[in-house]
C-alpha cells in the first residue's frame, strides 16, 4: 500500500465527520424552523384575540342598532340615545 492513498480507516473517519456535520446542520435547521413556527403561532394567537374583540364589538353594535331600529325602543325624550 502506498503512503499517498487513503486507507479504510481514514475513509471511515472522513465519512463519520461528514455525517456528524450533516447532523449538526440538520439540527440547526430544525431549531430555526421551530423558532419561526413559534413566532408565527404567537402572531396568529394575537390576531385571533383581535378578531374575537372585534366580533364582540360587532355584536354589541348590532344589538344597539336593532334596539334603535325596533319600534318604540329608540331614543326619545325619556330615553337617552346611549346607555
Task: Write the DSSP assignment of 72-83 as a string of letters.
Answer: T-S--SSS-S--
| Domain definitions of the chain by residue range | 9-71
Q: Quote the CA–CA distance of 25 and 66 in Å, as a whole number.
A: 61
Task: Determine if the pTM surpasses 0.85.
Answer: no
Residue 75's pLDDT is: 57
pLDDT tens digits for 37-64? 999 999 999 999 999 999 999 999 998 8
Q: Which residue has the cell 492513498?
A: 5
Amino acid at each position: 500500500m502506498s503512503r499517498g492513498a487513503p486507507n479504510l480507516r481514514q475513509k471511515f473517519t472522513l465519512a463519520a465527520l461528514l455525517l456528524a456535520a450533516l447532523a449538526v446542520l440538520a439540527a440547526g435547521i430544525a431549531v430555526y424552523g421551530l423558532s419561526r413556527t413559534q413566532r408565527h403561532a404567537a402572531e396568529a394567537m394575537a390576531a385571533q384575540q383581535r378578531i374575537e374583540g372585534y366580533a364582540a364589538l360587532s355584536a354589541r353594535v348590532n344589538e344597539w342598532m336593532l334596539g334603535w331600529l325596533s319600534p318604540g325602543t329608540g331614543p326619545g325624550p325619556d330615553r337617552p340615545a346611549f346607555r
